[in-house]
Amino acid sequence: MTDLIQLNQDNYRCAYAIHCQGHTHPWSEPVFADCLTDNYQAYALLQDDMYAGLYVGLFVVDEATLMDIAVGEAFRGRGLSKVLMSHFLALCVNKHMHCVWLEVRASNVAAIGLYQAYGFEQIECRKDYYETQDGREDALMMKLVLGD
């Protein structure tokens, strides 16, 4: 069974562990916890009562930003990123967001494909934005317009 639960200060630590699995340079725990305050909404995806994935969204006026989306290593390849993305975009529509922004590592082909499948388009490339083990990597800025 798959469920989505809203994260809060009492239940975020298991989701933070998934965030750390999904990033070579994860946020610190205090930064992650700050994403549970006003203007943010964060959800965890539970599969058979186990934390399997998460997303963090920031909502300001009529624009949303997908701050993070991740699926735990043991749960990848099951389409769970689509469940998370569909839930996030439905939340954006319910909150009357005009557009959604995100940034992604240029090397993250799977994520780029997911975002393009939902209609996101590349707007900009930030050269050498992300730190890597071997140097730096570009960030692709992507945007989805939800309505006028």
Q: Which of 103, 121, 124, 130 is catalytic?
A: 103
- Count of alpha carbons within 13 Å of 51, Cβ hemisphere only? 19
DSSP assignment string, 73-108: GGGTTSSHHHHHHHHHHHHHHHTT-SEEEEEEETT-
Q: Are 102 and 65 in contact (CB under 8 A)?
A: yes
Torsion of CA 129, 44, 34, 133, to 10 degrees: -30
16 is catalytic: no
Catalytic annotation, pick one of 12, 16, 55, 115:
115
Residue 40 designated active-site? no
Q: Contact 138/129 with Cβ under 8 angstroms?
A: yes
User: 3-class DSSP state for residue 110?
Assistant: helix
Q: Which residues are catalytic?
A: 103, 115
